[in-house]
Amino acid sequence: MEYVLTANSLYKDYGKFRALAGLSIKVPKGAIYGLVGKNGAGKTTLIRIICGLQNPTLGDYTLYGVEHRSSKISKARRRMGAVVETPSVYLDMSASENLKQQYRVLGLPSFDGIDEILKLVGLEGTGRKKAKNFSLGMRQRLGIAIALCGSPDFLVLDEPVNGLDPQGIVEIRELILKLNREKNITVLISSHILDELSKLATHYGFIDGGKTVKEISAEELEAACRKCMRIEVTDTPALARVLDKMNAEYKILSETEADVYAKINITALTNALSAENCELISAAEKDESLESYYISLIGK
């Protein structure tokens, strides 16, 4: 497997405070890697380190296989774009002026590609409108557009949907998926919103207290999480008798509700229940599994 980023037992001390305590992750090429951890877990610290904004106290990391102490690391870092904390946007400039400014910073020879980037992030129609008059979601997309200058193939986004409204969240999600699928950009996203990450991530790194608690692919996670069906009936003792006969695992929640941890045929269940004079009121697949997996890893 080819890795865009590997972090090997990274430590970061701020005076006496240890923000990273031996954190290791591996981000495979082509992944959307969700870095999950509650506030203060060390996500931003890791991102600042890999962006070269801070040095680790101990440990090392590689970008495209280049060791961070190597003289070639700046070249490897040019393949990476990042939005760390709040996007660095010039508020008195329009979207295209912001991108031109970034092209100048990167020393790019022409402004070719700016229109394409603006289109990609959905800001092509903003003309002379200044960034200070943009919505938060538009500013976030402009931040991503700036990070895309120089055609990186690795994009690092620190809490990209923080503070956005539901529409803004959907726009950022679709943009990330498009960049990953159509432009083959590997993405590292930090977030504490698991539910949102689960709509995107192909891999997860769960971190807590500056350490990696678990790294897992979305596929492995799916297999590790039990799918569950919440069933509502008129009589759960009757439901229990039927499920026992079907050898299905279940948990009775109340006189009318139960969770069933098995794939069951609804027609067969309805027929069996009606023989017990019990009606099936509703059945819905429930996906609290990711949340409970996370809680079982991190606690609380």
C-alpha radius of gyration, the chain, whole number? 24
Query: Residue 225 region, left (φ>0) first, then alpha (ψ -120 to 50), else beta?
Result: beta
- Under the binding rule (CB under 6 A), the answer on residue 41 touching ligand ATP is yes
Structure tokens at 179: 């960049």
User: Least CB distance from residue 1 to ligand ATP, whole Å?
Assistant: 26
User: Least CB distance from residue 151 to ligand ATP, whole Å?
Assistant: 27
Helical spans, DSSP H, in 23-94: 43-50, 73-77
Question: Is residue 262 a contact partner of residue 206, using CB atoms and an 8 Å limit?
Answer: no
Stretch that binds ligand ATP, among 13-21, 57-65, 233-241, 254-262 (CB under 6 A): 13-21
- Binding flags for ligand ATP, 169-208, as an x/- string (CB under 6 A): -----------------------x----------------
Nearer to ligand ATP, 137 or 205 (CB): 205
Q: In terms of Cα–Cα distance, which of 232, 267, 227 is closest to 246?
A: 267
Residues forming beta bridges with residue 208, ordered by sequence position: 211
Nearer to ligand ATP, 26 or 43 (CB): 43
User: Least CB distance from residue 38 to ligand ATP, whole Å?
Assistant: 7
Stretch that binds ligand ATP, among 39-47, 86-94, 133-141, 286-294 (CB under 6 A): 39-47
- Binding flags for ligand ATP, 14-33, as an x/- string (CB under 6 A): x--x-x--------------
- Under the binding rule (CB under 6 A), the answer on residue 211 touching ligand ATP is no
Helical spans, DSSP H, in the chain: 43-50, 73-77, 95-106, 114-120, 136-148, 166-183, 194-197, 218-224, 236-245, 266-275, 289-298
User: Least CB distance from residue 17 to ligand ATP, whole Å?
Assistant: 5
- Under the binding rule (CB under 6 A), the answer on residue 212 touching ligand ATP is no
Query: Residue 187 region, left (φ>0) first, then alpha (ψ -120 to 50), else beta?
Result: beta
Question: Is residue 41 a contact partner of residue 209, using CB atoms and an 8 Å limit?
Answer: yes
- Under the binding rule (CB under 6 A), the answer on residue 42 touching ligand ATP is yes
User: Least CB distance from residue 210 to ligand ATP, whole Å?
Assistant: 7
CB under 8 Å to 221, separation ≥6 — which residues?
204, 290, 293
**Total residues in contact with ligand ATP, by rule CB under 6 A:** 12
Q: Figure out which of the listed residues 23, 27, 32, 44 binds ligand ATP, where binding follows CB under 6 A.
A: 44
Stretch that binds ligand ATP, among 35-43, 96-104, 194-202, 270-278 (CB under 6 A): 35-43
The amino acid occupying position 244 is D
User: Least CB distance from residue 19 to ligand ATP, whole Å?
Assistant: 3
Structure tokens at 155: 């994009």
Q: Which residues bind ligand ATP (CB under 6 A)?
A: 14, 17, 19, 37, 39-45, 192
